[in-house]
Amino acid sequence: MCQLLGMNSRLPASLTLSFTGFSQRGGCTDHHSDGWGIAFFESEGQAPGRAARFFVDKESAATSPIAQMLRTYPIKSHNVVAHVRKATVGAVTLENCHPFMRELWGRYWVFAHNGDLKEFAPHLHGSFKPVGSTDSELAFCWLLQELNKSHAAAPSEEELTKTLAELVPQIAKHGTFNFLLSNGQALWAHASTKLHYVQRQHPFAEVHMKDEDIKVDLSELNCPEDRLIIVVTEPLTTNENWVAMAPGELRVFKDGCPLVRAGVEELALA
């Protein structure tokens, strides 16, 4: 089992606190020691950025020098996708570390997956090909290929969500398909078995971290205008109202809010 972590924020925000707890799950409080990765769409001033900083490592997230650097170096971002990995399919090599990144419509897209897909062997036309051997990268390449076929240029988040709601069940029927996807403008989350999110906004409270025995006063780390969503496999704190996503639920988060809720009914039928 891998674990996913995503953030979508209205204002540029650093994920340092949540990443600190999350990265302990890579080989420390949990058994995920087969690599990790994180992609930050770095903010340009107050606006969401187009480019991503992209860090992957075969070393455990709990001990990696790169993860150590990130725990102390706050990178401001509107959208973040992170992953710690327990290898199930594919060897433990760098090319199999999530998130994966590709360019489509002149934007970078990042994707991380938790779960396993069985007998998923879609036809790829060649514009997006996996570099590694995971079912996850294969699913990502197919999704981008089909999005590209469905839209001549980048559509709105609402349009993209509708298309994803049609595409995702075709993959999800092959197994467990919890995923996070971002293009720097929004964050999409799909739950197959397990994914939770929480919205943090003014007034910010004191939270009790689950992976480290500490309490953190979020009002000291945020200003009243901040508003953000954290999406994660297992809740990071013990005293916040984490929402468990339903099986087959697809959500898109923008500006620190759920934008639309799509596909619960359609996906449940798939």
Which residues, 6+ apart, have CB-to-CB distance to 269 below 8 Å? none
Segment near a copy of itself (CB under 8 A), from 10-18, 23-31, 64-72, 240-248?
A: 64-72
Q: From the CB of 176, what's the least distance to a copy of itself, in Å?
A: 24
Residues 6+ apart with CB under 8 A from 206: 215, 216, 217, 218, 219, 239
- Residue 35 binds a copy of itself, judged by CB under 8 A: no
Where do we find the tokens 């995920």? Answer: 32
Report the nearest approach of a copy of itself to the CB of residue 261 (Å).
Answer: 30
The DSSP bridge partners found for residue 128 are: none
| Residue 128: C-alpha distances to residues 166, 179, 200 (Å) | 19, 18, 36
Applying CB under 8 A, which of residues 29, 31, 118, 129 lies at the interface with a copy of itself? Answer: 129
Calpha distance 172→169 (Å, rounded): 5
Which of 11, 54, 175, 211: binder of a copy of itself (CB under 8 A)?
54
Verify whether residue 2 is a known catalytic residue. Answer: yes
The rounded distance, in Å, linking the Cα atoms of 42 and 44 is 7
Separation between Cα atoms, residue 136 and residue 81, nearest integer Å: 14
155 interacts with a copy of itself by CB under 8 A: no
Is the CB of 113 or the CB of 196 nearer to a copy of itself?
A: 113
Mention every residue, 6+ apart, whose C-beta is less than 8 A from residue 154: 105, 106, 107, 183
267: its two tokens? 């996906």
Site map 15..34 versus a copy of itself, x via CB under 8 A: --------------------
- Name the residue with tokens 């199930």: 88
Nearest residue to 265 (alpha-carbon basis) of 196, 155, 166, 117: 166
Under rule CB under 8 A, residue 49 binds a copy of itself: yes
- Considering beta carbons, is residue 109 or 197 the nearer one to a copy of itself? 109
Residues 6+ apart with CB under 8 A from 152: none
Contact 270, 177 (CB under 8 A): no
Stretch that binds a copy of itself, among 88-96, 191-199, 204-212, 244-252 (CB under 8 A): 88-96
Does 89 participate in binding a copy of itself (rule CB under 8 A)?
no
Residue 51 is a binding residue for a copy of itself (CB under 8 A) = yes
Q: Does 130 bind a copy of itself (CB under 8 A)?
A: yes
Name the residue nearer to a copy of itself (CB basis): 100 or 197.
100
Pick the piece of the chain touching a copy of itself (CB under 8 A) from 4-12, 52-60, 113-121, 187-195: 52-60
Cite the active site residues: 2
Contact residues for a copy of itself, defined by CB under 8 A:
42, 44, 49-58, 65-66, 69, 72-73, 93-97, 101-103, 105-108, 127-132
